[in-house]
Amino acid sequence: MATSKKLSRADLIKERARLEAERERIDAEIAAQAKAELQGLVDAFKEHLAANEFALSDALALLGVSKKAVGKRVGAKPKAKSASADRPVVGVRYKHPQTGEEWTAPEKLRRTKKWLEDLVRSSGKKYEDFAVKSK
């Protein structure tokens, strides 16, 4: 949003809410398209197996999928990771590489800064990768 006039705080909050809603809609659309594409691949794989008289269990064994993993529910929640892997470390300072904005994780961490969560999620890196190295 590049405008020459200054917006009020209330207008900025409304605009942020609108953009966040749009982002959620786009994320949902991306997820739906990915699911449809993956389903197409799975269907083609099954057809290929059947046409060539291969067993699904043999194909899964070659892919390195265990019998235990095959029986898992699709919607099963993954096991929780260690606290340091999925959360910022208390007292550590983190820095945004482009903006230079810094944030120190407080002792009673309730919520991580959105820019830091977005960086971790989009880059595939860990929180520690954005930590400020002490000199």
Query: Is 84 a member of any domain?
Result: yes
Domain boundary among 76, 95, 121: 76
- Report the alpha-carbon distance of residue 68 to residue 70 in Å, rounded: 6
pLDDT score, position 83? 45
Query: Is 32 a member of any domain?
Result: yes
Regarding whether 26 and 50 lie in a shared domain, the answer is: yes
Percent helix, strand, coil in the chain (nearest 5)? 55, 5, 40
List the beta bridge partners of residue 94.
Answer: 103, 131
The verdict on pTM exceeding 0.75 is no
Residue 44, domain extent? 8-76
Regarding whether 72 and 12 lie in a shared domain, the answer is: yes
Contact 115, 96 (CB under 8 A): yes
Regarding whether 84 and 60 lie in a shared domain, the answer is: no
Query: Is 1 a member of any domain?
Result: no
Regarding whether 123 and 93 lie in a shared domain, the answer is: yes
The count of domains in the chain is 2
Write the DSSP assignment of 93-124 as a string of letters.
EEE-TTT--EEE--SS-----HHHHHHHHHH-
pLDDT score, position 1? 54
Query: Is 2 a member of any domain?
Result: no
100: three-class secondary structure by DSSP: coil
Structure tokens at 113: 């800064």
Query: Is 34 a member of any domain?
Result: yes
Query: Is 27 a member of any domain?
Result: yes
What is the dihedral sign for C-alpha 28, 34, 37, 43?
A: negative
pLDDT score, position 12? 94
Nearest to 46, CA basis, from 34, 59, 32, 65: 59
* Alpha carbon separation from 18 to 1, 11, 26, 61 (Å, rounded): 12, 10, 12, 47
Query: Is 14 a member of any domain?
Result: yes
pLDDT score, position 15? 94
pLDDT score, position 109? 80
Regarding whether 106 and 48 lie in a shared domain, the answer is: no
Residues of the chain with pLDDT under 50: 82-84
pLDDT score, position 84? 46
Regarding whether 66 and 12 lie in a shared domain, the answer is: yes
Phi, psi of 119, rounded to the nearest 5 degrees: -60, -45
Regarding whether 84 and 135 lie in a shared domain, the answer is: yes
